[in-house]
Amino acid sequence: MATASDSKYKRTNTNGMQHQPLDVAIVGGGLVGSLLALHLGKKGHEVNLYEYREDIRTAELVIGRSINLALSARGRRALAEVGLEDALLNHGIPMSGRMLHDVNGKCKIVPYDANTNQCIYSVGRKHLNEVLLNAAEKYPNIHLHFNHKLVSANLDEGNLSMVDPVTKDVKSARADLIVGCDGAYSAVRKEIVKRPRYDFSQTYIEHGYLELCIPPTAGGEFAMPHNYLHIWPRGQFMMIALPNQDRTWTVTLFMPFTQFHSITDQGLLLDFFRQHFPDAIELIGRERLVKDFFKTKAQPLVMIKCRPYHIGAKALIIGDAAHAMVPFYGQGMNAGFEDCSVLTELFNQYGTDLTRILPEFSEKRWEDAHAICDLAMYNYIEMRDLVTKRSYLLRKKLDELLFWMMPNTWVPLYNSVSFSHMRYSKCIANRAWQDKILTRVLYGASIASVAAIGGLCYRHVTMGHLERLSTSILSTLQLLKPKASV
């Protein structure tokens, strides 16, 4: 891993040209903010990281408000660029596919990549944040400030005003560049949204989430096979479980708020689980299930789309501040980490010329961010419902076969999103192209099959028989027809 001694604090170098380092203020000390501090600190810039909460490394973990994280290719590359990929992979738990639980407790494995056995990694949010902050603290040009809540900013001048939530002391700061990495409810974005002709949308879905926990067995082992993302798909709702290093499972129940609100006592809760998740009662434990379910309220899920991501040459938003998404593709963190990679590439290309870096970042990133927000919404339908459909499983098998035959031409949607660096917008375009090809091939095959069968059977069957046979063939092919693209 790179250390503080690698940085050049007087001047930075880009393509043989020397530049004065920038004073950068990063608002938000979560995953994306702390990683961006490393990326920019490594380049020699003076970085001040402001976080409104206390230091997470000394704070107690807040249960019920954090969905486990799935680290995949895009996030891994951003971590590798600051020398932390191996450390996080050694901590993470590889998951090679989905394990689906039906209402009778029977399980079915659906691999993510049957050809090359690629996997995603279950990582703890708190641990990852601690690793990033510890690494940032080693750089003398990165300064961490906790209990600093942004209350106002002049984004044209680069001025910040903050308050300590505990002491109420007001503090001010000035920077050449302000980067908002402060999440879906970003204070920096609130300042940007005030600008005229700014595109912004906020969408809450009707479903919320609530966290539960599966403890280790009496012998201290995992209660289920641990190299899978476990899913209990139930049509309009679902439950998932991701493994943790301490042999527990973080279980997340997603369903409409109306359904959460209808479960008002222990009896209704247990009846609901007996009907829909009977095997989970024993895994979680009856008493723990009741305690954890009523301990916290279901939390909302929001999607944020906006553009552009910059204001002039002094302010930028990235991560959830720019493109918060629902968690069903496991790309929220990965997309935010990829923002850091894209921004660093532009610094490498343009040095410290923020008049070029910031507009180009907005232009390169907004379409991809909107695309992954849409894909995340679609994947909820897939996870809670489509994974149980015969048509979905047949399409997946066909994708795997074509990917095996033509790995450089036919890349399945999930593989392109999770195991490649293909632009998110390109992933959608690629899927649309695949759907178009399959539709033409399948309908062409149906016509050829009907014609061939008709020729063979012309002398032996009536026209009525042919019509019924043709209808049967077309119905079978329709089952294989790809769903409409996102």
Number of domains in the chain: 2
339, 424: one domain: no
Mean per-residue pLDDT, 31-60 = 96
pLDDT at 181: 98
Residue 2 has pLDDT above 70, yes or no: no
Q: How confident is the model at residue 202 (pLDDT cuts 50, 70, 90)?
A: very high
| Boundary of a domain, candidates 361, 382, 403 | 382
Q: Is residue 148 part of a domain?
A: yes
Residues 438-485: tens digit of each pLDDT: 888 766 666 665 556 555 555 554 555 555 545 554 554 455 444 444
**What end-to-end distance do the CA atoms of the chain give, in Å?**
39
Average pLDDT, the chain: 89
Name the residue with tokens 């807040």.
Answer: 62
pLDDT at 453: 58
Residue 256 has pLDDT above 90, yes or no: yes
197, 289: one domain: yes
76, 221: one domain: yes
311, 409: one domain: no
Mean per-residue pLDDT, 151-172 = 95
How far from chain centre, in Å, is Cα 45? 29
Q: Is residue 480 part of a domain?
A: no
pLDDT at 15: 56
Residue 252 has pLDDT above 70, yes or no: yes
Which of the pair, 216 or 395, is modelled with greater confidence?
Answer: 216
Q: How confident is the model at residue 127 (pLDDT cuts 50, 70, 90)?
A: very high
Which of the pair, 466 or 319, is modelled with greater confidence?
Answer: 319
Q: How far is CA 165 from CA 52, 133, 168, 191, in A?
A: 7, 21, 5, 20
254, 157: one domain: yes
Q: Is residue 2 part of a domain?
A: no
Q: Above pLDDT 70, what percent of the chain?
A: 86
306, 410: one domain: no
Report whether 177 contacts 25 (CB < 8 A).
yes
Q: Above pLDDT 90, what percent of the chain?
A: 76
Residue 116 has pLDDT above 60, yes or no: yes
Q: Is residue 216 part of a domain?
A: yes
| Boundary of a domain, candidates 367, 382, 397 | 382
Which of the pair, 390 or 1, is modelled with greater confidence?
Answer: 390
Report whether 170 contacts 75 (CB < 8 A).
no
422, 344: one domain: no
398, 285: one domain: no
pLDDT at 6: 46
Handedness of CA 42, 48, 49, 54 (dihedral sign): positive
pLDDT at 385: 82
313, 410: one domain: no
pLDDT at 10: 52
pLDDT at 390: 84
268, 402: one domain: no
pLDDT at 386: 80
Residue 169 has pLDDT above 60, yes or no: yes
pLDDT at 19: 76
pLDDT at 11: 57
- Quote the pTM value: 0.88
Q: Is residue 439 part of a domain?
A: no
Instruction: Put residue 351 in one of left, alpha, beta given phi > 0 → left and psi -120 to 50 → alpha.
Output: left
Q: How confident is the model at residue 12 (pLDDT cuts 50, 70, 90)?
A: low
408, 290: one domain: no
pLDDT at 391: 83
Report whether 241 contacts 263 (CB < 8 A).
no
Q: How confident is the model at residue 117 (pLDDT cuts 50, 70, 90)?
A: confident
Report whether 302 contacts 184 (CB < 8 A).
yes
Q: Is residue 345 part of a domain?
A: yes
Residue 48 has pLDDT above 90, yes or no: yes
Residue 334 has pLDDT above 80, yes or no: yes
Q: Which domain holds residue 418?
A: 389-434
Q: Is 172 exposed, middle or buried (0-12, 13-18, 19+ CB in 10 A)?
A: exposed
For the chain, state the CA radius of gyration: 25
202, 258: one domain: yes
Residue 77 has pLDDT above 70, yes or no: yes
